Amino acid sequence: MSEIDTPEHLLDFIQQKTGADHIEALEYRSLAGGAVQENHGLHVRMTGGSLPGEHRFVVRSDAPVALSVSLSRAHEFEILRAACEAGVSAPQPRWLSADKSVAGPAFYIMDWAEGTANARALVKDDALTATQRQQLMHDLGSNLARLHAIQYTPGRLPFLAAPGPDPAQTQIEACRQLLNRFEEPHPAIELGLQYLADHRPAQQDLVLCHSDFRTGNYLVAEGRLTAILDWEFASWSDPYEDLGWMCARCWRFGRPDREAGGVGSKEDLFAGYESVSGHKIDPHRLAYWELMAIVRWAVLALEQSYRHRSGQQESLELALTGRMVPEIQQDLILQLRELTDIAKDTPTPINPGAATSTPATGPQQPLDPYRDQPDAGALLKVARALLLAELLPALPQDQRYNALMIANALGIAIREQTTGDTMAAAQHAAIQAFYQAQGAGQPDADIRRLVQDIRDGRYTAAGTPGLLNLLDTLVNLKLSLSNPRRISSAQSPKAAS
């Protein structure tokens, strides 16, 4: 929780803004889903002034450490106001405070909107009827088109960075700069960046983009869209940035068959967009920006993990975001296969004991006479089992997500403790085999060498036989530690598109 830890300062602030004679807080609570910013629900009763009666608001404030690409609360407030003026379904912004003496970090207050943004709930089969899904997608598309009607002109929303002539190149450079900060070898991300750089689309009109337009960032009540949320990444860009983000594989939440955010169809989304914009969607341009979305999310996930690892903001959720990167890379490889029309023609070798939905026990090791038993892996395993079987069912609903995160972290730790060295050795062996097949076998060829060769353009997705298969192998070996179920449930390019 941020420095805004009591509602009294907020009540004084609202009272000053409304001229209320009296204001009473009926509820003040932290809201879920604030991995980047912090949100609190505030329910008040006011007498007199400009807003008498009961009102529900959301107080949105700075997180302890912001992402480098995130807007300030003051700028986000202005974006939200511009979106509402354009007819976009978004919470009405009320008041902004950039004065830290009021309640600590900067914050703004907006109207409460009903509904759920829970992506995992919205993608379930029984969450919406077929008619509701169709209407929801149409509404999302038409709202996005209204936002994109705000075209760039110099001096408009001047706090946003002036766009360059090539938004795709701007995104590529931003991803590259972030990736360089972490000094971690991720060949799949490198290959994605290479493809994006080599296939940039022709310039298009620059518009105001939400830049995080996806399931999880909009509210649905009784099957209808009530508000689009989380505007902290807004920017001037290509309109296909938002369309690609919404349709990217990495934002389908386990439902690859529903290509628009795991909830509906692209056709319904595009029908709503085209009904307002008058522009026909270009599928080739869309596929390019879907790849851009996957690459960008992979890099942002690394940045969120770095916030935890650097000690800036210790958080289990941020830590686990870093371990999601192999899943995102799996989506990236599938997208590259579709764009290059290269089918997966060889099976990926995976340790059968590791590729299970339960933590692998690994080979029996000689007992260390200097350590007590059971060892670390055995202790983690029994602790995880107790958490899931006994503690989770007894927890209140609002704490179950935290318990599941803990169980997930324990599962990763067990698998890594028992088979991590084996998986690392298998990755190195796969890279060595690839270089030998290319006629460039060298004893020092490793994952960093592979990254550099991709970055230098020596190997490409379409021009290097076996490269995508190698990346499949490397990613699946990592998934055997972080999320084995993704290996067995991976879709073919056509099924997952």
Q: 47-97, pLDDT tens digit by residue?
A: 999 999 999 999 998 765 555 568 989 999 999 999 999 999 999 999 999
> Contact 275/140 with Cβ under 8 angstroms?
no
Q: Is the pLDDT of residue 40 over 50?
A: yes
The reported pLDDT for the residue numbered 96 is: 95
Residues 62, 73 contacting (CB under 8 angstroms): yes
Q: Spell 103-117 as b/e; 16+ CB within 10 A means b.
A: bebbbbbbebbebeb
Which pair of tokens denotes residue 402? 């935290």
User: What pLDDT, on the 0 to 100 scale, is given for residue 63?
Assistant: 67
Q: Can the peptide bond before residue 374 be classed as cis, meaning omega within 30 degrees of 0? A: yes
Nearest to 293 by CA among 320, 261, 257, 266: 261
Per-position DSSP letters for 349-388, written without gaps between them:
P--TTTSSSS----PPPPP-TTS-SS-HHHHHHHHHHHII
Q: How confident is the model at residue 2 (pLDDT cuts 50, 70, 90)?
A: very low
For the stretch 360-381, pLDDT in tens is: 444 455 666 766 767 787 888 8
What is the secondary structure of 312-348 as a DSSP string? SS--HHHHHHHTTHHHHHHHHHHHHHHHHT----SPP
State yes or no: pLDDT of 454 exceeds 60: yes
Buried b (16+ CB within 10 A) or exposed e, 349-385: ebbeebbeeebbebeeeeeeeeeeeeeebeebbeebe
- In the prediction, which pLDDT does 1 show? 33
The arithmetic mean of pLDDT across residues 117-132, rounded, is: 96
Q: What is the pLDDT at residue 254? A: 92
* pLDDT tens digits along 298-353: 999 999 898 888 888 888 888 899 999 999 999 999 999 999 998 776 555 554 34
Do 441 and 448 meet the contact criterion of CB atoms below 8 Å apart?
no
**Model confidence over 61-71: pLDDT tens digits?**
876 555 556 89
**Which token pair is 243?**
């369309």
Query: At residue 410, does pLDDT exceed 50?
Result: yes
Q: Which domains does the chain have, with CATH numbers?
A: 8-111 (3.30.200.20), 119-343+422-496 (3.90.1200.10)
User: Per-residue confidence at 3, pLDDT binned at 50, 70, 90?
Assistant: very low
Q: Residue 186 pLDDT more than 80?
A: yes
Tell me the C-alpha to C-alpha distance, in Å, between residue 63 and each of 7, 73, 232, 369, 448: 17, 10, 12, 47, 34
Average pLDDT value for residue range 386-394: 89
Q: What is the pLDDT of residues 460-471, one digit of tens each?
A: 999 999 999 999
